[in-house]
């Protein structure tokens, strides 16, 4: 008998499905401590969680017979994915099941905010009757800024279009055709959204790139009448800065469904008249909970029985039996994808991958997957892997062509990615020295030579005396230690690649901004 532990509140329909499936038994134990969970987890073949249970390194320390974890929902930020992968525990989620509920909750918050529904109700229930105090605003004709045009973002757009809102959308991987059908103006500038929008809503994962995406500086760009809704994840808006902005009427209002810490220990937002709070209710509808519970039960039982694996988050990209050269180039392709993610500007239209030299004779399928993982992963909170990489790229309108050529002038093999966006063309070439040392040897036609590891700063500048020294001085002044340096030159310009021991802080960036002749610089974190 396979035993499945249900560690968070799950719709009875999902539990019944497990118990009515031959060979499976569901055991419900909600609200248990980290200690208890880590001591019993190894007795179960599968586990279903929502967002409350934290699958920490400690919980996953001794997984025993645990084969898979299903997250009844989208975000997997409560699961230590690298640890689960390390321990061979498959993690799956149920994307899509709660999309409409999260979008409807976003609309509910937006409407409640603009029409003062909650304070007016509280006032009336306490015996009051004030019609002047609660005059609101229509959504009609207002500008709605949508950050993140994935499943929920697009569902919000469909609903907001019905309210005749003017929508401005931002997403580095958006699907322009769908968005255009709803009259969405696509922008590449978040600043434009902050300055223009009457309402701002975000539907993006919380990760290294999106934490504190909206802080004091961005809040101060917004209209004093702007209202902001966060139904995605706490921490995408800096809570301290938002609190100050609301208290000082820098913006008109906010509605929060998600928090840095849940439940929040500091309950300060509840005391602000211009802030509406709900306790992470985006997915809390009967319909969504039934949908995600059934899907979680199905994908988990299928995987335990050895059936098809669906919605896998951490399946490996390259099989153990792949040739060594493919395993090594696969890792390089992921790093090239990572670098391309920070290098390119604008939405990607086309990708061409070139395999030259000996690797052209091999099955290079894993390289395409690995490149896609490197390119896409920074923008997703689900793990991009062999199962979903191609699908996610296609869903975002990214076509990937491949070219094989046995000729390779300077190396035995090399891998090149060429990316076209609506703004420009970008290329990165990497190779392996001695078949195992990864090197990036060319960026946008500039020769380079660096290992894609740790923090690498790339600076493009007009090639004239003193610039290298000025960049070094700017870094040194703010204690940024430089490890290695390479410089490539072309057409009166130069590209410098520096490995850094620490990331650039605001002050170091300010100093670099002052260096005359530097046209652009960017830092890529390869770890």
Ligand X SMILES: O=C(O)CC[C@@H](O)C(=O)O
Ligand Y SMILES: NC(=O)c1ccc[n+]([C@@H]2O[C@H](COP(=O)([O-])OP(=O)(O)OC[C@H]3O[C@@H](n4cnc5c(N)ncnc54)[C@H](O)[C@@H]3O)[C@@H](O)[C@H]2O)c1
| Residue 74 lies near ligand X (rule: CB under 6 A) | yes
The item of ligand Y, ligand X, none sharing an interface with residue 171, based on CB under 5 to 8 Å by kind, is ligand Y
Question: Should residue 334 be labelled a site residue for ligand X when binding is judged by CB under 6 A?
Answer: no
**Is 280 among the catalytic positions?**
yes
Q: Which stretch binds ligand X (CB under 6 A): 13-21, 279-287, 354-362, 468-476?
A: 279-287
Tell whether residue 260 is a contact of ligand X (CB under 6 A): no
Q: What is the 3-state secondary structure (H, E, C) of 393-429?
A: HHHCCCEEEEEEECCCCCCCEEEEEEEEECCCEEEEE
Q: Are strands 437-443 and 425-433 parallel, antiparallel or unpaired?
A: antiparallel
User: What is the nearest approach in angstroms of ligand Y to the Cβ of residue 78?
Assistant: 10
The active-site residue, picked from 192, 211, 262, 402, is: 262
User: Out of ligand Y, ligand X, none, which partner does residue 438 contact, by CB within 5 to 8 A per kind?
Assistant: none
Nearer to ligand X, 18 or 232 (CB): 232
Query: What do you get for the CA distance between the two ends of the chain, in Å?
Result: 41
262 is a catalytic site residue: yes
Q: Is the dihedral of CA 70, 76, 82, 83 positive or negative?
A: negative
Per CB under 6 A, 284 contacts ligand X? yes
> CA-CA distances (angstroms) from residue 271 to 105, 143, 276?
22, 28, 10
173 binds, among ligand Y, ligand X, none (CB under 5 to 8 A by kind): ligand Y
Check residue 85 for interaction with ligand X (CB under 6 A): no
CB of 41 to ligand X, least distance (A): 19
Angle at 206 between CA 426 and CA 500, to 5 degrees: 50
Is 46 near ligand X (CB under 6 A)? no
Q: Exactly one of 50, 105, 233, 334 is catalytic; which is it?
A: 233
Question: Which of the residues 292 through 331 are near ligand X (CB under 6 A)?
Answer: none
> At its nearest, how many Å lie between ligand Y and the CB of residue 284?
7
What is the chain's Cα-based Rg?
A: 25
Q: Which residue is nearest to ligand Y (CB)?
A: 150
Active site residue 206: no
Kindly state the smallest distance separating residue 393's Cβ from ligand X, in Å: 22
Alpha helices in 199-280 (DSSP H): 216-221, 239-247
Provide, rounded to whole angstroms, the least separation between the CB of residue 384 and ligand Y: 10
Q: Residue 469: which region, alpha, beta or left (left: phi > 0; alpha: psi -120 to 50)?
A: alpha
Q: How far apart are CA 401 and CA 424, in angstroms?
A: 18
- Tell me whether residue 71 is exposed, middle or buried, using C-beta atoms within 10 angstroms of its C-beta: 0 to 12, 13 to 18, 19 or more: buried
* b (16+ CB within 10 A) / e for 356-381: bbbbbebebebbbbbbbbbbbbbbbb
Query: What are the tokens at 242?
Result: 């938002």
For ligand X, the closer of residues 4 and 456 by Cβ is 4
Q: Which of 14, 73, 357, 378 binds ligand X (CB under 6 A)?
A: 73
Residues 104-123 that bind ligand X (CB under 6 A): none
CA 253 – CA 238 distance, rounded (Å) = 15
Binding part of the chain for ligand X, among 68-76, 297-305, 411-419, 425-433 by CB under 6 A, reads 68-76
CB atoms within 10 A of CB 168: 20
Nearest to ligand Y of 209, 412 (CB atom)? 209
- Give the footprint of ligand Y on this chain (CB under 6 A): 74-75, 95, 98-99, 102, 147-153, 170-173, 203-205, 209-210, 231-233, 257-258, 280, 282-283, 379-381
Exactly one of 71, 280, 334, 356 is catalytic; which is it?
280
Q: Is the peptide bond before 199 cis (omega within 30 degrees of 0)?
A: no
Instruction: Measure the CA–CA gap between 388 and 91, rounded to whole angstroms.
Output: 13
For residue 50, the partner it binds in ligand X, ligand Y, none, with Cβ less than 5 to 8 A by kind, is: ligand X
Region at 523 (left for phi over 0; alpha for psi -120 to 50; beta for the rest): beta
Query: Considering beta carbons, is residue 163 or 380 the nearer one to ligand Y?
Result: 380
Mark the segment that binds ligand X (CB under 6 A) among 67-75, 157-165, 335-343, 519-527: 67-75
Query: Closest distance between ligand X and the C-beta of residue 296, in Å?
Result: 10
List residues with catalytic annotation. 233, 262, 280
List residues binding ligand X (CB under 6 A).
50-51, 73-75, 98, 280, 282-284
């Amino acid at each position: 008998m396979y035993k499945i532990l249900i560690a968070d509140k799950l719709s009875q329909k999902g539990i019944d499905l497990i118990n009515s499936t031959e060979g499976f038994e569901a055991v419900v134990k909600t609200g248990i401590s980290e200690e208890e969970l880590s001591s019993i987890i190894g007795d179960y073949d599968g586990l279903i969680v929502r967002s409350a249970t934290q699958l920490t390194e400690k919980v996953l320390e001794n997984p025993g017979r645990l084969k898979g974890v299903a997250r009844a929902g989208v975000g997997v930020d409560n699961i230590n994915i690298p640890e689960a992968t390390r321990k061979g525990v498959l993690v799956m989620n149920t994307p899509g099941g709660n999309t409409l509920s999260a979008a409807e909750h976003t609309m509910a918050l937006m409407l409640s905010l603009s029409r003062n529904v909650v304070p007016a109700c509280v006032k009336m229930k306490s015996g009051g009757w004030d019609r002047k105090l609660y005059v609101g605003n229509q959504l009609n004709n207002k500008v709605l800024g949508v950050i993140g045009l994935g499943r929920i973002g697009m569902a919000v757009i469909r609903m907001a279009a019905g309210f005749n809102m003017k929508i401005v959308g931002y997403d580095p991987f958006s699907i322009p055709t769908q968005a255009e059908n709803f009259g969405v103006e696509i922008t590449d500038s978040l600043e434009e959204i902050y300055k223009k929008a009457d309402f701002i809503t975000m539907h993006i994962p919380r990760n290294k790139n999106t934490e504190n995406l909206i802080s004091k500086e961005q809040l101060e760009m917004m209209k004093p009448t702007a209202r902001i809704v966060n139904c995605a994840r706490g921490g995408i808006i800096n809570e301290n800065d938002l609190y100050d902005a609301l208290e000082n009427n820098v913006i008109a209002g906010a509605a929060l469904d998600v928090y840095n810490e849940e439940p929040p220990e500091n309950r300060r937002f509840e005391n602000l008249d211009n802030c509406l709070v709900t306790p992470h209710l985006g997915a809390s509808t009967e319909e969504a909970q039934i949908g995600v519970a059934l899907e979680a039960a199905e994908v988990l039982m299928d995987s335990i029985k050895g059936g098809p694996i669906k919605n896998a988050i951490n399946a490996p990209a390259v099989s153990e039996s792949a040739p060594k050269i493919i395993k090594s180039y696969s890792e390089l392709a992921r790093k090239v994808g990572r670098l391309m993610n920070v290098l390119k500007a604008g939405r990607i239209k086309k990708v061409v991958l070139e395999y030259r030299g000996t690797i052209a004779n091999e099955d290079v399928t894993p390289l395409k997957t690995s490149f896609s993982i490197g390119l896409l992963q920074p923008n997703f909170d689900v793990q991009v892997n062999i199962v979903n990489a191609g699908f996610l790229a296609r869903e975002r309108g990214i076509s990937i062509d491949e070219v094989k050529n046995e000729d390779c002038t300077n190396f035995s093999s090399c891998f090149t990615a060429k990316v076209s966006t609506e703004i420009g063309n970008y290329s990165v070439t990497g190779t392996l020295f001695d078949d195992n040392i990864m090197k990036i040897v060319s960026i946008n036609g500039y020769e380079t030579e660096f290992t894609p590891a740790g923090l690498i700063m790339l600076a493009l500048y007009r090639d004239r005396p003193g610039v290298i020294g000025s960049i070094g001085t700017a870094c040194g002044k703010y204690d940024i230690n430089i490890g290695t340096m390479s410089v490539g030159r072309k057409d009166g310009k130069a590209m410098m690649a520096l490995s850094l021991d620490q990331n650039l802080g605001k002050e170091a960036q300010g100093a670099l901004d002052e260096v005359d002749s530097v046209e652009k610089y960017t830092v890529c974190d390869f770890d």
